[in-house]
Amino acid sequence: MAKYRSAGNTVVKVTDSGGTLRDLSSYVDTVTGLGKEVDALDVTSFADTAEKIIAGIEKSQEWTLSGHFDDTATTGPDAVLAPLVGTAGSLEFYPIGTTSGRRKISGSFLCTRYTVSGEVKGRIEYECLFKLNGTITVGTA
């Protein structure tokens, strides 16, 4: 079981505006928490002596990709992510690599924001915000 960052093994793939799955791993520094989450629905009745809950529908999570900005590569983050705002696409996230049997998280997402920022003596960075569209699949490569 992996307990630490796996330098160089994490893989992030996003579909571009033309529907081609692009590997952005070398441009990504951070992927915020990504996995399954459901609402807890209260089904407590007057006859119960304690609260009772059941699993509700899957939540539409938000998550971000961020890293160093690159506008020269046709397959880099600016070329792939900037045109996605307002469109749905798919994502594949492999936290510890694409070797057979490793964890794979994938799904369809709506891109809601793409921003670029920088500071004096700092690097130029991008951040892209996505919202889950449907269900997320947590499986293996």
Q: Domains, the chain, ranges and CATH? A: 11-140 (2.40.30)
State how far the Cα of 93 lies from the Cα of 135, in Å rounded to an integer. Answer: 15
Give the pLDDT of residue 2: 46
pLDDT in tens, 15-57: 998 999 999 999 999 998 787 888 999 999 999 999 999 999 9
Give the pLDDT of residue 115: 96
In terms of C-beta density within 10 A (0-12 exposed, 13-18 middle, 19 or more buried), how is residue 17 classed? middle
Give the pLDDT of residue 124: 92
pTM summary value: 0.81
